[in-house]
Amino acid sequence: MARNAKTDLLQGTLDLLILKTLALGPQHGWGISQRIQQISQDVLQVHQGSLYPALHRLEDRGWVASEWGVSENNREAKFYSLTRAGESQLEVETQKWERVTAAVASVLQVVS
Amino acid sequence: MGRWLRRLRVLLGGRRFDDEVRKEIDFHLAMESERRQENGESEQEARRGARLAFGAVDGVREEVREARGMSFWDTLVQDARYGLRTLARSPGYTLTAVLILALGIGANTAMFSLINGVLLEPLPFRNGDELVLVRQQAVQSSRADAGVSIQELQDYRSRLASVEDLVEYHSMSFTLLDHGEPDRVDTGVVSANFFHMLGIQPLLGRSFLDGDDDLGAEPVLILSHAYWQSKFGGDPSVVGRVLEMNDKQHTVVGVLPPYPQYPRDNDVYMPTSACPFRAAAEAEPTSHRTFAGLRVFGRLAPDATLERASGDVAAIARSFERDYPQDHEATRSLGFTGDAALLGEELVTNARSALYVLVGVTVLVLLIVAANVANLALARTLRRGRELSVRTALGAGRGRLARQLVTESVLLALAGGALGVGLAGLSTDLLAGFIGRFTPRTGDIAVDGRVLLFALVVSLATGVVFGLAPAFALRRDLAGGMKEGGVQSGAGPSRHRLRAGLVVAQVAASFALVVGAALLLVSFYRLATKPLGFETEHVMTAAIYGNFSSLETTEDTQLFERQVLETLRSSPGTRSAALTAAVPQSAIVPGNVPVTLDGFGDGTPYEVDRNYASDQYFDTLGVPLLAGRDFRPGDTPEAPRVAIVNQSMAELWPDADPVGRRFTVRGPGMPGMPGTPDEQSFTVVGVAADYRLYDVEQENPAQYYLPVSQNPGRGTRLLVRVDGEPLDAVPIIKAAVHRADPLTPVEELATIAEVRSATHLAAPRLTAALLAIFALVALAITLVGLGGVIGTTVSQRSHELGVRMALGASRLSVLRLVLWEGVALAVVGVVLGTACTVFFSRVLSSFLFETPATDPLALAAVAALFLLAAVLATAGPARRATSIDPMQALKVD
């Protein structure tokens, strides 16, 4: 199963964004996608669909849990929430992200 | 851990998971299109836009499955489907492989069902693993359990704290009278709490109650389920019925459920007080302290271990010797002691080595089968070289192709396994009958869940192992498959070595099997033809237990015995007739009686075997009397006590000439048999030649014979020497017995040869036959495999061989070349197999009679057989090689 090489970077970012979003409270997939789109706007150009493999991967890892419920407009929807393990993972990912951005920023400063 | 559980849930959810993902995506699309409509897009635009923003729905679904670890299974299903299609396209290969695999897996499954039933299943009793046997033995005699006496049991009951609920058991054969028809029944004589202790509830009526085994209690009986079914047609009104036995009225109080009876199957059970011998012995508490005929077992106390119980029994047993010196005079020099053994272990000890041999055999068979099918699969991969190369060219990785091949072989193995389980199911009865000769624990042998699981695991493992061979070869040489003549490509030397190696492994394993079978056959031949020193074919035997109701007194019995013998001796076609206590070569073992020679030796007793015989006994068997005289009617109870000794016992006297001399027997008499004092002297009147009364694997013991005429009631076995067909004597024998007493049943009619065949020859014959069958199957599979490999080589080398012939090689030299290739493989296999045999035959050695496990002659003979067989198996391909047309071969390129 060949996969795009760029997803590695994207995946990490997407996972972080999902976890961060869910830290605010349980949400269904569409809600998460709206939220991420709001935050990142045009910077992260991903198909909305690629959110779902990421969600399921996080669920497979045990970082998020899911439950069927009723949406704000009375539709059946699958709600995701952050688990205990997900909370600590969010912390790990955030630190990692900060280290990377800091490193990249310092490289950029030196070069310019 | 949680991750695998989640994945398992998804996997087991199957379609539901897919539905949920679809629903989730539908929800997303609906929400997105709603949002777009709110932003002013038309419904159609909104829906299109939502789809575009989402991306490929199918792709997302696929990725979701992958994220959940489902891709492994998706690929598996794909591979399996593809595998089934390709297998269906080559039915010949598929059928051969499945059949061979079925043999290997079936044999192993059957064997596991034996091991499962005999060794792994718990005893079918309440907490069966707590049951222990209390044993006593004289260390230096060969018997592990000499039994316990009534007085000793009473002592154990009061002093042995680590074993609770001690019960006794022994088995008798009594005549049961019902509707006036005598019926000989196997009777278990047991303590009242016997069934309660084992946790067996009666099917009908009641169990024995406390007090049922008190002396003088009303005699009661419990029927076994099988006896109730066969003799009373399962009639529930049998409870309360009164049956006559041993001259007493017994009330049937209950019927047992069908359960595997231990220590053996009985027709009926009675409490100890109902057995005349047992009751008589209990009534004389001071005597017969060491008359040890009882099996005693009980339950480990809650806080006790087997080690502690064993130590306690040993301590108590040793105290018997100290406290009752006279009773233990005979056994003192032999080291009297006791121990405790787990009943579950005790019941299977004898079966272990038989099981190990069978396991060794079936593992070898499976090895051969796996190697053989691996070779078939390799050859097939070779033929599929083109297809596989195309798939590689189309982007399939090697790992992916290897996985495909392994999936196919696992499919084959599963099909073979399913068929094998069927074969195993068919053979369990036969195998249970075989192992039943070594253990009573055959009741649980069946193809159950655990056996099915075993078959599944073995099938999967076999499939993976033999599938890896072609997959491994694939790694090396896929390149070049696309070239012209791709069918023959990919036959690199490494692959040939692999195929050759697999053939060598098969030859080695089947060589070990055939050698084992040959050794067992030779051993069986030696056992069966061992000279016994007496006539077995023309001696008819029968069991005639005198009937208590008509033979009340000793005189009655004596009269009965004389009448039977006289009638028979005057019947036409019978040369002589005699009575004895046990049929020679039946399932009997030597006893040991302490004997001192009057006027010789220092008074230390010899261990001697005691037997009973009437006059004409030695004549009937054709055993010569070396000195003195035979017993005669004049040897009455009133006359001086006489004995005939065998040659081995005669040699205990310094001049080996004991006629006229006396010897003395000290020790217990027979309880319930008044007139057998604890010390008796006998005058030797004759010396008989040694002959094999017992199993030939036993040493021939020193023996003396006492006349039945001075020991009435001992002559329960009739021996009749006939001139013609032994079967013709059956009506004559029945008539003679019934003329003397119509109520005495005549049973177990068989010649001594038949008795020997059923008792001592049946197990070795079955072992040899089983192994021979396995060995032949293994040999056949191996030879076909060898022929196949050489055949493939010939077709691969046809070009080369053609060139050789074009350059002037003779057909003979080509023939020799190909033959040599097959023979060389066989030679290497035989050499490795010999090493294998050394290990295997160590397990076998306990089954061999007068045959060394590494008999060089047997090894050489089997090796020669293998080489010959290898030549034959290679002959076909070799002939094909010589008929290659050089022109044709050259044109192929």
The DSSP call for residue B261 is: -
User: From the CA of B837, how many Å to the nearest CA of chain A?
Assistant: 50
Q: Which has more pLDDT, B329 or B644?
A: B644
Q: How many CB atoms lie within 10 A of CB B411?
A: 20
At position B128, the amino acid (one-letter code) is G
Q: For residues A104 and B801, give the distance between their C-alpha atoms in angstroms, rounded to a whole number.
A: 70
Q: Is residue A19 part of a domain?
A: yes
Q: Is residue B74 part of a domain?
A: no
B706, containing H or E segment: strand B703-707
Contact yes or no for B27 and A30 at CB 8 A: yes
Q: For residues B403 and B468, give the distance between their C-alpha atoms in angstroms, rounded to a whole number.
A: 9
Contacts of B133 (CB under 8 A, 6+ apart): B145, B295, B296, B297, B340, B341, B342, B343, B346
The alpha carbon torsion through B25, B29, B31, B35 (nearest 10 deg) reads: 150
| B404 shares its domain with B322 | no
- CATH number for the domain harbouring residue A33: 1.10.10.10
Q: Final residue of a domain: which of B675, B710, B745?
A: B745
- The residue of chain A nearest to residue B23, with distances taken between CA atoms, is A77
Average pLDDT over residues B698-718: 88
| B311 shares its domain with B453 | no
Tens digit of each residue's pLDDT (9 = 90 or more) over B32-69: 999 999 988 899 999 998 998 888 888 888 888 888 88
Contact yes or no for B24 and A59 at CB 8 A: no
| B737 shares its domain with B767 | no
At position B413, the amino acid (one-letter code) is A
Q: Is residue A51 part of a domain?
A: yes
Q: For residues B475 and B651, give the distance between their C-alpha atoms in angstroms, rounded to a whole number.
A: 77
Cβ contact B214:B282 at 8 Å: no
Nearest CB partner across the interface for B24, out of A29, A48, A57? A29
| B325 shares its domain with B360 | no
| B382 shares its domain with B446 | yes
Q: For residue A1, what pLDDT band results from cuts at 50, 70 and 90? A: very low
Q: Is residue A61 part of a domain?
A: yes
Contact yes or no for A47 and B54 at CB 8 A: yes
Q: Is residue B439 part of a domain?
A: yes
Residue-range definition of the domain harbouring residue A15:
7-111
| B738 shares its domain with B780 | no
| B381 shares its domain with B459 | yes
pLDDT at A5 over 50: no
| B360 shares its domain with B319 | no
Q: Please compute, for residue B463, the number of CA atoms within 13 A of its CA located in the half-sphere on the CB side.
A: 24
Phi first, then psi, for residue B716 (nearest 5°) are: -90, -5
Q: Is residue B750 part of a domain?
A: no
Q: Evaluate the CA torsion angle B488, B494, B497, B502 in order and state its sign.
A: negative
Contact yes or no for A61 and B3 at CB 8 A: yes
Cβ contact B24:A66 at 8 Å: no
Q: Is residue A39 part of a domain?
A: yes
| B341 shares its domain with B357 | no
User: From the CA of A101, how many Å to the nearest CA of chain B?
Assistant: 27
Q: Please compute, for residue B85, the number of CA atoms within 13 A of its CA located in the half-sphere on the CB side.
A: 6
Q: Is residue B79 part of a domain?
A: no
**A-B contacts at Cβ under 8 angstroms:** 73
Q: Is residue B683 part of a domain?
A: yes
- The residue of chain A nearest to residue B32, with distances taken between CA atoms, is A30
Question: Edge to edge, what strands does the sheet with A64-70 contain?
Answer: A27-28, A76-82, A64-70
Contacts of B474 (CB under 8 A, 6+ apart): B381, B388, B398, B401, B402, B405
- Could you tell me the CA-to-CA distances from B841 to B367, B505, B716, B833, B835 in Å, in that order? 18, 18, 42, 12, 10
Q: Evaluate the CA torsion angle B473, B474, B479, B480 in order and state its sign.
A: positive
Average pLDDT over residues B290-310: 85
User: From the CA of A73, how many Å to the nearest CA of chain B?
Assistant: 9
Q: Is residue A76 part of a domain?
A: yes
The radius of gyration of chain B from alpha carbons, rounded to an integer in Å, stands at 38
Tens digit of each residue's pLDDT (9 = 90 or more) over B404-458: 888 999 999 999 999 999 999 998 888 888 888 778 788 788 888 999 999 999 9
Determine contact: B20 vs chain A, CB below 8 A.
Answer: yes
pLDDT for B175 equals 82
Q: Which of A58, A80, A59 is nearest to A14 (CA)?
A: A58
Q: For residues B633 and B227, give the distance between their C-alpha atoms in angstroms, rounded to a whole number.
A: 41
> A interface toward B at CB cutoff 8 Å?
1, 28-30, 33-34, 47-50, 52-54, 56-57, 59-62, 71, 73, 75-78
Average pLDDT over residues B657-684: 73
Q: Which residue in A18, A35, A51, A56 has the most chain B C-beta atoms within 10 A of its own C-beta, making it the best mutation to test that interface?
A: A56
Contact yes or no for B53 and A59 at CB 8 A: no
Nearest CB partner across the interface for B60, out of A28, A53, A60? A53
Q: Final residue of a domain: which of B307, B329, B346?
A: B346
Overall domain count for chain A? 1
Average pLDDT, chain B: 85
Could you give the maximum distance between any two Cα atoms of chain A, in Å? 54
Average pLDDT over residues B453-465: 93
Contact yes or no for A75 and B31 at CB 8 A: yes
Q: Is residue B162 part of a domain?
A: yes
Q: For residues A103 and A108, give the distance between their C-alpha atoms in angstroms, rounded to a whole number.
A: 9
Residue B281 tokens, joined? 């012995």
Q: For residues A8 and A54, give the distance between their C-alpha atoms in angstroms, rounded to a whole number.
A: 12
| B359 shares its domain with B415 | yes
Contact yes or no for B31 and A53 at CB 8 A: no
Q: Is residue A82 part of a domain?
A: yes
| B338 shares its domain with B370 | no
Q: Is residue A2 part of a domain?
A: no
- The residue of chain A nearest to residue B67, with distances taken between CA atoms, is A57
Q: Is residue A31 part of a domain?
A: yes
Which of B:371-410 have CB within 8 Å of A?
none
Average pLDDT over residues A26-51: 80
| B515 shares its domain with B555 | no
Contact yes or no for B71 and A1 at CB 8 A: yes
Q: For residue A9, what pLDDT band results from cuts at 50, 70 and 90? A: low
Q: Would you tell me the crossing angle of helices B91-115 and B449-476 to the nearest 10 degrees?
A: 140
Segments of B179-230 assigned E as strands? 181-190, 204-205, 220-223
Overall domain count for chain B? 4
Instruction: Look at strands B642-646 and B679-688 and give their pairing.
Output: parallel
pLDDT at B285 over 80: no
Set of chain A residues whose Cβ sits within 8 Å of the Cβ of B67: 53-54, 56-57, 60
Q: Final residue of a domain: which of B346, B377, B404?
A: B346
Helix locations, A24-83, DSSP H: 29-40, 51-61
pLDDT at B116 over 60: yes
Tens digit of each residue's pLDDT (9 = 90 or more) over B239-275: 999 888 887 889 999 999 988 787 778 999 999 988 8
| Range with the poorest average pLDDT among B187-191, B645-649, B762-766 | B762-766
Reported ipTM: the value is 0.87
Q: Which residue in B9, B23, B28, B72 has the most chain A C-beta atoms within 10 A of its own C-beta, making it the best mutation to test that interface?
A: B28
Residue-range definition of the domain harbouring residue B643:
545-745
Q: Is residue B114 part of a domain?
A: no
